[in-house]
């Protein structure tokens, strides 16, 4: 689920909801979801206050005033849901969570001193939470290898072209899903942007013209920004920090729309498999370009 727009939506919500709150107690289930919890939670988390909430790629960072940070990856089914000491009222979805959390998917619970809580839920257990010194985050190998943020103001079409030059022989879809090429794109927005740029997802990178790469650059920024505006995509599990669903799927042009008409030409959208992922294309407008022999 959570790709850049979903993680950014969660970040913004958490920033609004948990900044300056003090951590009173932390519960966690298995070491898998929170590997170094046992050693460090009592020393660096309990009693600390939340200083900032940041995002890089699909990763969230909650900075504490102990100069330690929680690093969180939601992977496929992770959620970070805040339940306050006061209800939101007027049928707000958060209110129904008051009695329903924690549930069987809750892996970590952070109790704040005012009685509010932050739940890390993750049905499939792929996600994780780690605690480490804030200054060590950027030293992580994983972090150092990340490509640029595609929605950054200074990220240009030329930058995209340059990043793609090291993945010439793979499919364009595999290339933009590669977090070391660009950071934050996942299966939904890859399909959406490739449709926007009229590129078949299986096309080898080296066969795509500079003009088309520029289109792709523009479409990536468009769909990611539009989705942030819509609060992300709720394909299945995703909810934001208040437990609300995102509405981008109402605006999706191809993703999960097989057998429905292409919004541009009316041709039936088909589903294929590219780079090991379910992939949606308009078969008329996204022709597979192959090298001449």
Partner DNA sequence: CACTTGACCTGTCCGC
Partner DNA sequence: TGCGGACAGGTCAAGT
Which residues are annotated as catalytic?
A: 2-3, 58, 277
Q: Which of these ranges, 45-53, 129-137, 212-220, 269-277, lies near DNA under the rule CB under 7 A?
A: 269-277
Element (H, E) at 76: none
Asked if 3 contacts 230 with a C-beta cutoff of 8 angstroms, the reply is no
Asked if 41 contacts 109 with a C-beta cutoff of 8 angstroms, the reply is no
Taking CB under 7 A as the rule, does residue 169 contact DNA? yes
Taking CB under 7 A as the rule, does residue 188 contact DNA? yes
Q: Quote the CA–CA distance of 138 and 267 in Å, as a whole number.
A: 46
Taking CB under 7 A as the rule, does residue 2 contact DNA? yes
Taking CB under 7 A as the rule, does residue 124 contact DNA? yes
**Contacting residue, 14, 108, 131, 174, with DNA by CB under 7 A:** 174
For residue 4, the SS3 value is helix
* Phi, psi for residue 13 in degrees, rounded to 5: -65, -45
Taking CB under 7 A as the rule, does residue 149 contact DNA? no
Asked if 243 contacts 97 with a C-beta cutoff of 8 angstroms, the reply is yes
Whether omega before 102 lies within 30 degrees of 0, making that bond cis, reads: yes
Which residues are bridge partners to 22 per DSSP?
49
For residue 215, the SS3 value is helix
Residue 122 Cβ, how far from DNA at the closest point, in Å? Answer: 9
Write the interaction track for DNA spanning residues 51-90; mark x where CB under 7 A is met and - where it is not.
Answer: ------xx--------------x-xxx-------------
Write the interaction track for DNA spanning residues 228-247; mark x where CB under 7 A is met and - where it is not.
Answer: -----xxxxxx---------
Q: Summarize as ranges the residues that interact with DNA (CB under 7 A).
A: 1-3, 6, 32, 57-58, 73, 75-77, 104-105, 123-126, 142, 166-171, 174, 177, 179, 186-188, 205, 233-238, 273, 275-278
């Amino acid at each position: 689920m959570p790709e850049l727009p979903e993680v950014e939506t969660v970040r913004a919500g958490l920033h609004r909801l948990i900044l300056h709150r003090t951590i009173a107690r932390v519960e966690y289930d298995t070491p898998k979801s929170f590997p170094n919890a046992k050693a460090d939670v009592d020393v660096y988390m309990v009693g600390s206050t939340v200083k900032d909430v940041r995002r890089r790629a699909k990763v969230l960072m909650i900075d504490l005033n102990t100069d330690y940070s929680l690093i969180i990856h939601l992977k496929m089914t992770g959620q970070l849901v805040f339940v306050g000491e006061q209800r939101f009222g007027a049928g707000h979805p958060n209110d129904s969570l008051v009695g329903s959390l924690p549930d069987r998917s809750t892996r970590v619970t952070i109790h704040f001193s005012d009685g509010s809580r932050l739940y890390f839920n993750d049905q499939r257990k792929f996600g994780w939470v780690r605690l480490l010194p804030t200054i060590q985050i950027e030293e992580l190998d994983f972090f150092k290898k990340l490509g640029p943020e595609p929605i950054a103001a200074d990220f240009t079409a030329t930058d995209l072209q340059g990043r793609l030059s090291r993945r010439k022989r793979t499919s364009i879809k595999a290339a933009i899903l590669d977090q070391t090429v660009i950071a934050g794109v996942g299966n939904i927005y890859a399909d959406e942007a490739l449709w926007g740029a009229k590129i078949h997802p299986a096309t080898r990178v080296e066969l795509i013209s500079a003009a088309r790469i520029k289109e792709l650059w523009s479409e990536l920024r468009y769909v990611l920004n539009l989705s942030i505006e819509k609060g992300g995509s709720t394909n299945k599990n995703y909810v934001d920090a208040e437990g609300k669903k995102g509405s981008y799927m109402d605006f999706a042009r191809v993703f999960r729309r097989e057998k429905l008409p292409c919004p541009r030409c009316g041709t039936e959208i088909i589903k294929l498999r590219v780079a090991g992922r379910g992939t949606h294309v308009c078969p008329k407008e996204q022709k597979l370009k192959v090298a001449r022999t």
